[in-house]
Amino acid sequence: MGFVLYNAPQSTCSQRVRFSLHAKGQAFEERKLDLFSGDQLKPDYLAINPNGVVPTLVHDGVPVTDSAVIMEYLEDILPDTTPMRPSVPHESARMRAMLRFIDEVPTPAIRVPSYNLAFLPHFQAMSAEEFQALCDSKPLRREFLMKMGRTGFPKADMDEAQGRLDRGVDRMNQWLLEGGGPWIMGQTLTYADIAIMPVIVRMDDINLGDAWADKPMVAAWLDNIRKEPAFRATYYHGSLLTEKYPHLKAARVDQALHATAASA
């Protein structure tokens, strides 16, 4: 039966798993879910992932959920195919500590500006009753959506998220400096790189790339990972928010024009 990946093109967690599969050269059947249509909340999907989120990897009929768990699972079953976890135990533990930081600090933080800048118009088009019903249908994201509401996250929440993203970039820069690059743990690309990749790519996509303006190693890391064959396969057209939401693309162009004018 092989691998079947239930995911969404723009989902940052889905992007981690797509990259991991491509990097390991594993063919898989991709089933794209329309999250705004509620595909992830339909009974057939909840039967394999009761949390109602993406991604879910089904391997030989057995579902594996949560992107961090899926990445470790792929390493467990394919340890000799493009290894992405250090073989030395203390280095493997160090990588897992990095993953814990990434998943607790920058990863949840990127959702706040993403929802405010890209997804909010979708929720504003709903009635109060429709929005409440949507919130109540979310096993993991109910409180997050309720806090956002149909008016968006307030400035205080946006500022807090930006602070967490800045700390994430600072810590990533520290890791790169300690390891000497080009990757977070040195010469070899690991799951630490793949875990933070969607956050950095999303920040750049929604005009938050100034966070590493004074950190050339982070900028070089982004250039390097974009050159990976797995990156190009992962970020097919429609995977970036600017490719789906014209107002974000316009804002990115405006920012570039202002930057050019300022430097002239």
The residues with which 138 forms a beta bridge, in sequence order, are: none
The answer to whether residues 122 and 176 belong to one domain is yes
Answer whether residue 86 is part of any domain. no
> Strand, helix or coil at 24?
coil
- Residue 120 CA neighbour count, 13 Å, CB half: 17
The residues with which 65 forms a beta bridge, in sequence order, are: 56
Answer whether residue 88 is part of any domain. no
Measured at the alpha carbon of residue 202, what is the angle toward residues 126 and 49, in degrees to the nearest 5?
A: 60
The answer to whether residues 43 and 105 belong to one domain is no
Answer whether residue 32 is part of any domain. yes
Confidence grade of residue 261 (pLDDT, cut at 50, 70, 90): very low
The closest alpha carbon to 16, from 76, 66, 91, 88, belongs to 66
Give the total number of structural domains in the chain.
Answer: 2
Q: Residue 206's domain is classified under what CATH number? A: 1.20.1050.10
The answer to whether residues 66 and 97 belong to one domain is no
The answer to whether residues 62 and 168 belong to one domain is no
Please provide the size of the chain in residues: 264
Question: Structural domain of residue 176, as residue ranges?
Answer: 93-263
The answer to whether residues 62 and 185 belong to one domain is no
The answer to whether residues 97 and 156 belong to one domain is yes
> Strand, helix or coil at 153?
coil
Cα separation, 237 vs 76, whole angstroms = 30
Answer whether residue 236 is part of any domain. yes
pLDDT digits (tens, 9 = 90+) for 92-118: 999 999 999 999 999 999 999 999 988
The answer to whether residues 61 and 121 belong to one domain is no
The answer to whether residues 120 and 191 belong to one domain is yes
pLDDT digits (tens, 9 = 90+) for 151-197: 899 999 999 999 999 999 999 999 999 999 999 999 999 999 999 99
